[in-house]
């Protein structure tokens, strides 16, 4: 699998991990390594190369609960998978399922859609079900995760300047996502 895709996935994995914090920021390193080995196991699912633009925030909330949209078998061919030109071009286009992360709400699994070497969408394949916590992750955590992944990645930012981030705020911050992606 291409590096760009691994990086994208590791970012998403890191974002998932942001929701698994129990206390303060210092769990980042350990948490990351806990699933680092799973990156290679992510499976490209049906290279749907049609570049889907990110849908509006309001539309995404409804999607998060649907765990049944995994049947993307239509393979439109990863024809643009050219060499390591550096320009991330079409490399790694397709849909990728992250590993299942155990969060404080229960297991979470996300799928990213990559087109033109960029994440164009993040959806939840698996979220905890059946109770109040379900609501929490659907209404709160997943939209945040999705937005953070899209923002950090689409802007290709290395760091974030913002009003003083305390330790409590850190775990949900963009900076934490970026840090986590590079802690190895």
The piece of 38-46, 95-103, 134-142, 174-182 that touches other proteins (CB under 8 A) is: 174-182
User: Is 9 a residue that touches other proteins (CB under 8 A)?
Assistant: no
Q: Measured from the CB of residue 69, what is the shortest distance to other proteins in angstroms? A: 24
Task: Based on the shown chain and the rule CB under 8 A, indicate whether residue 175 belongs to the binding site for other proteins.
Answer: yes
27-66 footprint of other proteins as x/- string (CB under 8 A): -xx-------------------------------------
Select from 31, 169, 38, 52 the least CA-distant residue to 109. 38
Q: How many residues bind to other proteins according to rule CB under 8 A?
A: 40
CB atoms within 10 A of CB 179: 18
Give the C-alpha separation, 162 to 75, whole Å.
Answer: 42
Phi, psi (rounded to 5 degrees) for 163:
-55, 145
15 with 173: CB under 8 angstroms?
Answer: no
CB closer to other proteins out of 97 and 145 = 145
Taking the complex as a whole, the smallest distance from the CB of residue 162 to other proteins amounts, in Å, to 3
The reply on whether position 182 binds other proteins by CB under 8 A is: yes
Q: How far apart are CA 101 and CA 171, in angstroms?
A: 16
């Amino acid at each position: 699998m291409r590096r760009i895709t691994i990086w994208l996935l590791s970012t998403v994995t890191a974002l998932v991990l942001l929701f698994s914090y129990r206390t303060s920021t210092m769990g980042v390193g350990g948490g990351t390594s806990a699933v680092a080995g799973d990156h290679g196991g992510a499976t490209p699912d049906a290279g749907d190369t049609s570049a889907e633009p990110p849908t509006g925030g309001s539309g995404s909330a409804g999607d998060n609960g649907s765990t049944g949209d995994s049947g993307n078998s239509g393979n439109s061919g990863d024809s643009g998978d050219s060499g390591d030109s550096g320009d991330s071009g079409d490399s790694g286009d397709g849909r990728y399922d992250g590993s299942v992360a155990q969060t404080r709400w229960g297991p979470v699994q996300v799928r990213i859609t990559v087109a033109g070497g960029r994440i164009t969408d993040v959806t939840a394949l698996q979220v905890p079900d059946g109770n109040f916590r379900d609501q929490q992750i659907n209404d709160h955590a997943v939209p945040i995760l999705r937005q953070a992944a899209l923002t950090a990645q689409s802007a290709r930012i290395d760091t974030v300047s913002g009003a003083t981030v305390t330790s409590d705020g850190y775990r949900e911050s963009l900076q934490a996502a970026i840090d986590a992606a590079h802690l190895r």
